[in-house]
């Protein structure tokens, strides 16, 4: 199968490359390396690369037309600067429109979009069903949700996967790499009083193998274990893994103004439609992620949230 991956040098994109090359899929990547890493793009006859932004219509149209993919996986996203709404609009909205138009004009058979769980905003109930209203309130969430609407309105069969916090090689966002890096360095930490769901990359990849198939369902789907864990639970798990006992209790701070107290996705419809179910539990999710950091370390740590005052003062 011929698969084009936008954001192919990012965390999810690069894991898809490592997963699909061994089974013989022909891949082509688009990445501007704003958050992706050039060194993770393998020099392999099955992998091609176009450097640039999905906001560049000429680049997107030419790349899709020349490569002629069967499937496009739209993983590119702007998230690293919560205040850079111009880049969020360019990548997450205009970039998504460009991908949709190029897929339609080139006869792509299937488009798969990655969506943030923050599309739901502050939910009315937990876990959040896929039928819940979307009401994002941050630049990242708003722009990603607008982009998703273009994808779902495409004439190409399209899936939008609303993702839990996926862990795996090169994870560079969220509490797990933050706690690991700070605790290893002997630095203090704090926990936001929030709850999130986590999903191991192996479970995500098993769903992606199903999603690229011609007979796969279309529409929006939550991708999650359906189990919520507090950020304090994550801190405790990382501390225990590192065999570090903090000298004093870790501070628990209220969610920031641009944060959400609890985001836990209900995966029941995804489980029914795909015959898929997450198999890896929370303890193993954390242990597998930290074992990877033991081997490879943590480089950048990004966040789509504005840093709380206590973090800026450190």
Q: What is the pLDDT of residue 81?
A: 85
Rounded to an integer, the average pLDDT of 116-136 is: 97
**2-167+198-223 and 175-195+226-264+280-312 share one fold:** no
Q: How confident is the model at residue 114 (pLDDT cuts 50, 70, 90)?
A: very high
Distance, CA of 238 to CA of 226 (rounded, Å): 21
Q: What is the pLDDT of residue 82?
A: 84
Residue 242 has pLDDT above 60, yes or no: yes
Question: How high is the mean pLDDT of the chain?
Answer: 95
Lowest-confidence segment of 59-68, 154-163, 298-307 by average pLDDT: 298-307
Q: Under CATH, what is the fold of the domain 2-167+198-223?
A: Rossmann fold (3.40.50)
Please state the φ and ψ torsions of residue 34, each to the nearest 5 degrees.
-70, -40
Q: What is the pLDDT of residue 79?
A: 87
Distance, CA of 212 to CA of 112 (rounded, Å): 8
- Bin 168: left if φ > 0, else alpha if -120 < ψ < 50, else beta: left
Rounded to an integer, the average pLDDT of 68-74 is: 98
Rounded to an integer, the average pLDDT of 92-118 is: 98
In 3-state terms, what secondary structure has residue 302?
strand
Residue 132 neighbours by CB distance under 10 Å? 18
CA dihedral sign of residues 96, 63, 28, 44: negative
Give percent above pLDDT 70 in the chain.
95
Rounded to an integer, the average pLDDT of 279-298 is: 97
User: Can you name the residues that pair with 161 across neighbouring β-strands?
Assistant: 114, 221
Q: What is the pLDDT of residue 80?
A: 80
Q: What is the pLDDT of residue 159?
A: 98
Distance, CA of 232 to CA of 32 (rounded, Å): 35
Homologous superfamily (CATH) of 175-195+226-264+280-312 is UDP-galactose 4-epimerase, domain 1 (3.90.25.10)
Rounded to an integer, the average pLDDT of 287-310 is: 75
Contact between 98 and 54 (Cβ < 8 Å): yes
DSSP 181-194: HHHHTT----EES-
Contact between 280 and 203 (Cβ < 8 Å): yes
Q: What is the pLDDT of residue 309?
A: 39
CA 158 to chain centre: 17
Contact between 123 and 132 (Cβ < 8 Å): yes
Domain boundaries, the chain: 2-167+198-223, 175-195+226-264+280-312
Q: What is the pLDDT of residue 300?
A: 65
Rounded to an integer, the average pLDDT of 34-43 is: 94
Residue 265's nearest CA partner among 138, 180, 143, 160 is: 160
Contact between 14 and 35 (Cβ < 8 Å): no
């Amino acid at each position: 199968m011929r698969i084009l991956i936008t954001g192919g040098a990012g965390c999810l994109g690069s894991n898809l490359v490592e997963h699909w090359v061994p089974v013989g899929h022909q891949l082509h990547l688009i990445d501007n390396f704003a958050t992706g890493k050039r060194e993770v793009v393998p020099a392999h006859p099955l992998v091609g690369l176009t450097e640039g932004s999905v906001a560049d219509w000429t680049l997107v149209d030419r790349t899709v037309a020349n490569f002629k993919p069967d499937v496009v996986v739209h993983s590119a996203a702007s998230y690293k600067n919560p205040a850079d709404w111009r880049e969020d609009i360019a990548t997450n909205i205009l970039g998504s429109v460009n991908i949709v138009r190029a897929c339609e004009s080139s006869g792509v058979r299937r488009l798969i979009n990655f969506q943030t769980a923050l599309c739901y905003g502050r939910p009315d109930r937990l876990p959040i069903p896929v039928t819940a209203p979307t009401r994002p309130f941050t630049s990242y969430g708003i722009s990603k949700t607008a982009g998703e609407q273009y994808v779902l309105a495409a004439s190409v069969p399209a899936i939008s996967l609303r993702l839990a916090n996926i862990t795996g090689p090169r994870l560079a966002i969220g509490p797990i790499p933050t706690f690991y890096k700070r605790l290893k360095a002997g630095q203090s930490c704090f926990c936001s009083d929030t709850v999130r769901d986590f999903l191991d990359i192996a479970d995500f990849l098993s769903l992606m193998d199903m999603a690229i198939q011609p007979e796969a369902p279309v529409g929006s789907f939550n991708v999650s274990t359906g189990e919520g864990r507090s950020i304090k639970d994550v801190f405790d798990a990382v501390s225990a893994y590192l065999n570090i006992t903090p000298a004093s209790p870790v501070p628990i701070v209220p969610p920031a103004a641009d944060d959400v107290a609890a985001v836990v996705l209900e995966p029941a419809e995804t489980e029914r439609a795909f015959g898929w179910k997450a198999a890896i539990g929370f303890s193993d999710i954390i242990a597998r992620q930290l074992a990877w950091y033991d081997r490879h370390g943590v480089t950048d740590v990004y966040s789509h949230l504005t840093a709380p005052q206590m973090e800026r003062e450190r």
